């Protein structure tokens, strides 16, 4: 698709070959555990490296300070995930962050403020694509959450097969869109309902709740809460357990459970884009977003 064509690397070359040959897109650094002189395969905002176990890749969001889901990050993430899916030597992915204290702060509000309708449409299509790719991926996806994960960051984690969260009360997770004066799209809602149930999701969405680890575990938003220094090792153990299941059986089961939810967006994709453009273009929404961004700038300054 046009969204990724400009940055696409030919998929005939296995990603593992690129990883171990030290081929880099953007910045590349020596991996800590890749062995054999392996280097990270990296775009500017998404780092991919071989995991310590066979068949596992580690994807790290690397867009400081808070891994906001900019158009650039969304595009690079989809490309990176597509490469992994087309390299059959990888069967599982550990998704985490390269920014301390944050998984992802969610949608980049600067992409939604002060731009034209064409940009809003392009941006929302990229957000849709990210979710569809994650939610329906044939790979085993385990989120290792060592930081805050509101809004779109929460959606990314919920789209994985399993979530491990660090036991730190400063780290919160949830779809808090109403606190910003905006509404979570129906497919955000569907993903949350499928994870924690209708009543809990209704309350969480209306109030824009952000759950600390213990509460996120209690409501079913995450599957395990562990000490922060054990998040990655626990996630790798989970990957091993899931990858012990024959791929074809697990993939067909995943599709059976998730395809109807994804198809709902696919059938309404253009209408969803137009609804987003219409909504975010309203003067009242633009003023609300501008006020929130100004507040963040003052806080940061």
Give catalytic residues, as residue numbers. Answer: 107, 152, 176-177
Which pair of tokens denotes residue 69?
A: 């889901």
Residue 88 main-chain phi, psi, to 5 deg: -70, -5
In whole angstroms, how far apart are CA 277 and each of 107, 157, 167, 268? 15, 25, 38, 14
Which pair of tokens denotes residue 90?
A: 């990888």
Angle, CA of 194, 197 and 202, to the nearest 5°: 105
Residue 30 main-chain phi, psi, to 5 deg: -65, 130
Looking at residue 30, the DSSP 8-state letter turns out to be B
Q: Strand, helix or coil at 39?
A: strand
26: left (phi over 0), alpha (psi -120 to 50) or beta: left
Report the alpha-carbon distance of residue 57 to residue 97 in Å, rounded. 14
Question: 161 near 254, Cβ under 8 Å?
Answer: yes
Q: Which of 21, 1, 141, 131 is nearest to 84 (CA)?
A: 141
């Amino acid at each position: 698709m046009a969204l990724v064509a400009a940055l696409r690397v030919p998929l005939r070359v296995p990603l593992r070959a690129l990883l171990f040959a030290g081929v880099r897109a953007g910045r590349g650094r020596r991996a800590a555990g890749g062995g054999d002189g392996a280097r990270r395969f990296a775009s500017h905002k998404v780092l991919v490296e071989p995991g310590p176990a066979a068949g596992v890749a580690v994807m790290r969001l690397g867009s400081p300070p808070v891994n906001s889901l900019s158009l650039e990050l969304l595009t690079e993430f989809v490309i990176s995930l597509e490469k992994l899916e087309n390299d059959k030597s990888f069967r599982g992915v550990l998704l985490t962050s390269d920014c301390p204290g944050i998984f992802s702060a969610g949608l980049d509000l600067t992409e939604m403020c002060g731009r034209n309708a064409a940009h809003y449409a392009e941006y929302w299509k990229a957000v849709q694509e990210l979710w569809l790719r994650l939610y329906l991926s044939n790979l085993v996806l385990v989120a290792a959450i060592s930081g805050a994960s509101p809004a779109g960051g929460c959606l990314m984690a919920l789209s994985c097969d399993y979530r491990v969260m660090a036991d730190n009360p400063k780290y919160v997770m949830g779809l808090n869109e109403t606190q910003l004066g905006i509404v979570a799209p129906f497919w955000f809602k569907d993903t949350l309902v499928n994870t924690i149930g209708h009543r809990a999701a209704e309350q969480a969405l209306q109030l824009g709740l952000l759950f600390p680890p213990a509460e996120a575990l209690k409501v079913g938003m995450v599957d395990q809460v562990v000490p922060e220094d054990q998040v990655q090792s626990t996630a790798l153990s989970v990957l091993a357990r899931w990858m012990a299941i024959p791929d074809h059986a697990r993939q067909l089961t995943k599709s059976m459970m998730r395809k109807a939810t994804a198809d709902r967006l696919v059938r309404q994709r253009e209408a969803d884009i137009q609804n987003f453009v219409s909504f975010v273009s309203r003067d009242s929404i633009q003023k609300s977003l501008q006020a929130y961004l100004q507040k963040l700038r003052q806080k940061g300054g």
